[in-house]
């Protein structure tokens, strides 16, 4: 591929002459300049699937026993979920013994809220199995009997701050313990959640004795234990936010010489919560008012050490419940609605580690759990104990068809995929979204592949099913009106494994004066043709290309490529773009991005167009470079 020569001035887009940065192109040269836009325009809109042919078959996962599942949360220093953890970085201990980690995957449950004062980073380069927002299950547990006058408004304000961060895939339940029970079952209707929270009231008293504190704590723990056992064996974690103004620590209800009273509070009451939380896969957050204080009753311990019943400090019970569940403690104050922002950030993703089962594996019994990540500046949150459910035997297998999988929101992860979408303008100004699909394993034998575009209301507006699954990458196209859509791609390989990847795509063009810019596309050059590529590693350069539409004959423009670390950061590399006229209404801008010397990571590639009057516009795509 010849290196283009940059002219002293801008580039004239004037037919019938064709210019590649000032170098006239012969018709034979123009014939060799092919862009992915042409490939996407030729991609058929079909509704059938194809056989994978004689491609190499993958080893079926059914040949090995099912692994044990351990889920945990890993957050970075800014409070957002950690990215791209590998199994070699994770250590899991069951009953104090290190267990080999077979595999690890990240499950995204919601878009990650930006950390406070965070600079805009690189946009997500493409969709993967991990970028599907599977949704969260929130349980708002209110200890009504602990709240006194004025404190109920604190948790109402905190919930009000959480509601804007919920997605349509999130489900929230409101529970008042120990007596009122479920006020609203799992729902995504924020109006119902708000109404249920507004109906809760403070039922506590400021003149509570130590015995009263122990009685209500025991009743609360017993009801919480029953609630968690009802949700044991879940397939996904619960995020439990417990609102309480104080709990008792373990204490007696009578002097040591006498029989225990009716409000005896034992350590075993808290230990049962530990077991139940592990069985229900419940991640706890404990929210408490800032003004929690001691009761007015003093200690009755004599100088000889007799008569001591236990502490009446309501903060000690909160510390016990936090320790029993591995909870994060959150303060509730009267400053606003930001108390639960940490809950929204940390629950946006979690990791699932798969362990190899042992020959004498114990099922149905709670065991201690410890998870450690070797990466610096990453904090792990895991429950203190875990209960592995015994694998079901002889369960019926339900095989879903491709249309059912496309309509689902399930994050199928057995077949890792990458997917992205690009806007292309057809003759007649109609817009089409081009689809690029890459299996992470290039040798994967795909049996069927399809994609859908989903609008904001959840409706499917366009479909595509591949007629040939042998291409690498797979290219498809769909037609839809301008707007923002969720692109969902599903693939099934010849072994029956299913993979789903999702990406948010914007169908539209970028205006620069009288010009319109299509999506920037990244790839590699093969036989003088741009082949789309989503993931880069050892390639010395990446080819960037986008279309320019409109403009008058003789218009002078300049075009460059800029590479930066984040969306608005200074450019690390600036290279010129070559412009070539593809047809009467379209010019293609193409340039090579040197990436061989770049460290692994995400980089933002900008295609910048400047008009003679200074008007500037740009299109952007994130390039991801990995070690392999």
Task: Compute the distance between CA of residue 107 and CA of residue 134 in angstroms, rounded to an integer.
Answer: 8
Task: Compute the distance between CA of residue 415 and CA of residue 140 in angstroms, rounded to an integer.
Answer: 35
Q: Is residue 394 part of a domain?
A: no
Q: Is residue 279 part of a domain?
A: yes
Same domain, 163 and 285: yes
Same domain, 142 and 28: no
Task: Compute the distance between CA of residue 340 and CA of residue 241 in angstroms, rounded to an integer.
Answer: 9
The helices-and-strands tally (H runs, E runs) of the chain is 9, 37
> Which residue bears the tokens 């990847």?
501
Burial zone of 575 (CB within 10 Å; 0-12 exposed, 13-18 middle, 19+ buried): middle
Q: Is residue 234 part of a domain?
A: yes
Same domain, 195 and 322: yes
Same domain, 181 and 305: yes
pLDDT digits (tens, 9 = 90+) for 282-326: 999 999 998 776 554 444 554 444 455 567 888 999 999 999 999
E strands within 275-426? 282-289, 328-332, 349-355, 366-373, 378-381, 385-387, 417-425
Number of domain units in the chain: 2
- The CATH number of the domain holding residue 310 is 3.40.50.410
Instruction: Identify the segments of the chain with pLDDT beneath 50.
Output: 1-63, 296-299, 302-306, 394-397
Q: Which of 346, 366, 400 is the last residue of a domain?
A: 346
**Containing domain of residue 515, as a range?**
1-32+510-628
Q: Is residue 594 part of a domain?
A: yes
Q: Which of 346, 365, 392 is the last residue of a domain?
A: 346
Same domain, 176 and 303: yes
Q: Is residue 357 part of a domain?
A: no
Q: Is residue 65 part of a domain?
A: no
Q: Which of 290, 318, 346 is the last residue of a domain?
A: 346
Q: Supply the pTM of this predicted model.
A: 0.67
Q: Is residue 586 part of a domain?
A: yes
* Tokens coding 250: 């373990």
Predicted pLDDT of residue 375: 92
Q: What is the DSSP string of 105-163?
A: EEEE-SPPPPPTTPPP-PPP-SEEGGGS----EEEEEEEGGG--TTTHHHHHHHHHHHG
Task: Compute the distance between CA of residue 352 and CA of residue 386 in angstroms, rounded to an integer.
Answer: 13
Task: Compute the distance between CA of residue 570 and CA of residue 198 in angstroms, rounded to an integer.
Answer: 49
Q: Is residue 227 part of a domain?
A: yes
- The CATH number of the domain holding residue 592 is 2.60.40.2550
């Amino acid at each position: 591929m010849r290196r283009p020569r940059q002219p002293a001035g801008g580039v004239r887009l004037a037919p019938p002459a064709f210019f590649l940065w000032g170098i006239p192109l012969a018709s034979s040269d123009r014939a060799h300049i092919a862009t992915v836009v042409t490939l996407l325009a030729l991609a058929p809109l079909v509704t059938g699937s194809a056989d994978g042919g004689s491609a190499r078959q993958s080893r079926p996962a059914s040949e090995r026993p099912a692994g044990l599942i351990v889920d945990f949360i890993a957050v970075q220093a800014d409070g957002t979920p950690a990215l791209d953890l590998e199994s070699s970085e994770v250590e899991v201990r069951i009953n104090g013994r290190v267990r080999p980690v077979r595999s690890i995957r990240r499950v995204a449950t919601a878009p990650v809220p930006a950390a406070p004062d965070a600079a805009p980073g690189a946009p997500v380069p493409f969709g993967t199995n991990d970028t599907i927002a599977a949704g969260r299950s929130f349980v708002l547990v209110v200890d009504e009997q602990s709240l006194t006058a004025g404190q109920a408004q604190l948790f109402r304000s905190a919930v009000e701050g959480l509601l804007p961060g919920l997605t349509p895939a999130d489900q929230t339940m409101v529970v008042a313990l120990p007596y009122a029970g479920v006020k609203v079952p799992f729902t995504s209707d924020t109006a119902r959640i708000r109404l249920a929270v507004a109906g809760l009231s403070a039922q506590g008293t400021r003149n509570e004795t130590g015995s009263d504190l122990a009685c209500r704590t025991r009743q609360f723990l017993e009801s919480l234990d029953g609630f968690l056992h009802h949700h044991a064996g879940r397939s996904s974690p619960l995020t439990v936010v417990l609102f309480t103004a104080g709990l008792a620590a373990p204490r007696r209800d009578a002097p040591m010489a006498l029989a225990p009273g009716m409000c005896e509070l034992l350590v075993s009451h808290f230990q049962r919560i530990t077991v139940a939380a592990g069985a229900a896969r419940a991640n706890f957050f404990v929210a408490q008012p800032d003004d929690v204080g001691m009761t007015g009753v003093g200690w009755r311990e004599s100088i000889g050490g007799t008569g001591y019943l236990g502490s009446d400090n309501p903060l000690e019970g909160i510390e016990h419940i936090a320790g029993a569940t591995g909870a994060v403690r959150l303060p509730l104050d009267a400053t606003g609605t930001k108390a639960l922002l940490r809950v929204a950030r940390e629950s946006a993703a979690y990791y699932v580690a798969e362990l190899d089962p042992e020959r004498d594996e114990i099922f149905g019994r709670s065991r201690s759990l410890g998870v450690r990540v070797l990466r610096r500046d990453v904090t792990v949150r895991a429950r203190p104990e875990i209960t592995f459910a015994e694998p079901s035997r002889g369960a019926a297998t339900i095989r879903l068809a491709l249309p059912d999988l496309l309509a689902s929101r399930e994050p199928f992860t057995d077949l890792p995929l990458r997917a992205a979408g690009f806007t292309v303008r057809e003759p007649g100004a109609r817009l089409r979204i081009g689809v690029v699909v890459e299996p992470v394993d290039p040798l994967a034998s795909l049996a069927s592949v399809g994609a859908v575009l989903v609008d904001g209301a959840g409706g499917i507006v366009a479909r595509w099913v591949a007629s040939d699954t042998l291409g690498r990458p797979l290219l498809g196209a769909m037609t839809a009106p301008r707007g923002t859509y969720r692109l969902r791609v599903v693939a099934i390989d010849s072994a029956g494994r299913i993979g789903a990847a999702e990406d948010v795509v914007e169908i539209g063009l970028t205006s620069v004066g009288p010009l319109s810019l299509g999506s920037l596309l990244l790839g590699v050059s093969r036989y003088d043709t741009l082949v789309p590529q989503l993931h880069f590693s050892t390639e010395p350069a990446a080819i960037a290309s986008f279309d320019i539409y409109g403009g008058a004959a003789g218009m002078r423009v300049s075009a460059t490529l800029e590479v930066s670390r984040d969306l608005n950061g200074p450019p690390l590399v600036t290279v010129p773009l070559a412009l070539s006229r593809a047809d009467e209404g379209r010019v293609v801008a193409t340039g090579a991005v040197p990436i061989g010397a770049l460290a692994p990571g995400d980089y933002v590639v900008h295609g910048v167009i400047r008009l003679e009057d200074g008007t500037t516009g740009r299109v952007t795509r994130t390039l991801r470079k990995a070690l392999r």
